[in-house]
Amino acid sequence: MSLPHGKSRDVSQGRKRKAYIALGSNLGDRVAWIEKACREMDARGIHVTRTSSLWETEPMYVLEQDKFVNGACEVETVLEPLALLDQLQDIENSLGRKKVIDKGPRNIDLDILLYEDEKIDHPRLKVPHIGIAEREFVLRPLAELIPHRPIDPSRPWKLTQDYLNDLPPASAPLTTLTPLGRGQPPLQALNPARKTHVMAILNMTPDSFSDGGLHTPGDRSSLAETIRAFLAAGATMIDVGGQSTAPGKPEVSVDEELSRVLPAIEMIRGDAAGGRRDVLISVDTYRASVAEAAVRAGADIVNDVSAGALDPDMLPTVARLGTTVCLMHMRGTPATMNKLAHYPATASSDGDGEKGGGGSSSSSGMISAIATELSERVAAAEAAGIRRWRIILDPGLGFAKVGPQNIDVLRHLDELRAWPGLQGLPWLVGSSRKSFIGHITGVPSPAERIWGTAATVAAAVQGGADIVRVHDVREMAQVVTMADAIWRY
């Protein structure tokens, strides 16, 4: 419906309306500006219900400027279209936007793309937004949110994905961006030349399956030496954990977990271990209170083996903190997960199922289940307020997967990356020293599974992993460097 000039639809009754807003920035900390704008929308009652990924794009129209970060969000609002436009423009002004030239550099850009299924023709506002059909940087994030919805209500047979498919191939493929830490380059999960991050495992536990008792908060000199060695060997991330998730290990109290992880995080950030501000820290926990304390102490990423399922406060807490979260696939709890490793074949299965250690699957059934269950956790994260661009995924090797099932995950990692609804998200793979490697190689001691681990790390890089989580940093950093040289170009 077209609105006459100077008129606006009355929605003063408070009925929630759905709109889609374009997000853009190419000045300063581009992701931070977009996140500030989303927080400001929420604060003004324009509720951001879902977000697309963030995409780095070359400038269009005015070419002599820096690359843009573009995305889109779905919002619920009681504001009528022109009132919504007023609020968005006021947010731009409050964030210091100064428009020098049309389509030129800007720290923040907010545009109404769609408002319900209305067609609006007003001197100040055209909906659907003019130019959607020719702009990949608009269509691609919008297609993540509403691929099967028409853009133009007068052409209901043509869907958002159809417009995207009609565009000519880009000279360079777009890539998503996943921010990691302040001042650190984001992950670019679709950049074929990206380098793989090496995440060093720092278990502050007495009972982890491979290195339990090796590090304790009380032995500061040994801990400092280990951190220095990780950094010197090529680690770009350190994952700090204070609760073993191996089957059969007892659950420790929150206070005990905090007493283990906080000193290590503070040491990494401080000077005692030659602390480096550029190293990224993740905290390996499924407890919201531990995650919050760790982030306050300097952690950049929350690495949750339960994807927020074991603590109902985890996802809302991560959303409030605004940090990046790794959602891992697991079933049940660490105590019960290996009894839940049965993945029935899908209708398209070719019957190549294998059994091992009490679990069974066909690879097609398992990959479908992992993708479906992770998609549910992504949806739960988004519903809690976590931005899509703040999500990393982990297929959960060794968690509700036994024996050859783990090999199947490595074989089909590229399928998980391309699964509808998961495309563009980065992946972490943690295979280091795990029991399936020992079973295949015949090496009973976890600390001696270096060569088997090396093969799985190379396979993870080939399959598209963005981060590999490892114990043997010096050796695996070399494997990653060589694997990147082969497959990342």
At 115, which helix (H) or strand (E)?
strand 109-115
Q: Which two tokens stand for residue 172?
A: 């360079």
Tell me which residue of 82, 104, 66, 85 sits closest to 22, measured CA to CA.
Answer: 85
Tell me which residue of 213, 383, 392, 369 sits closest to 315, measured CA to CA.
Answer: 383
CA dist., res. 431 & res. 470, Å (int): 7
Q: What is the DSSP string of 304-326?
A: ETTTT-S-TTHHHHHHHHT-EEE
What letter does residue 150 receive in the DSSP assignment? B
Based on the residue annotation, tell me whether 339 is a catalytic residue of this protein.
no
Based on the residue annotation, tell me whether 97 is a catalytic residue of this protein.
no
Q: Which long-range contacts (CB under 8 A, 24 or more apart) does 333-336 make?
A: 333/306, 334/244, 334/245, 334/246, 334/247, 334/249, 334/305, 334/399, 335/247, 335/248
Identified catalytic residue from 387, 469, 474, 488: 469
Helical packing angle, 288-297 and 254-269, nearest 10°: 20
CA dist., res. 412 & res. 435, Å (int): 20
The number of residues making up the chain comes to: 489
Q: Please provide residue 407's backbone torsions phi and psi, each rounded to the nearest 5 degrees.
A: -65, -40
CA dist., res. 94 & res. 96, Å (int): 5
Identified catalytic residue from 30, 97, 434, 449: 434
Active site residues: 434, 469
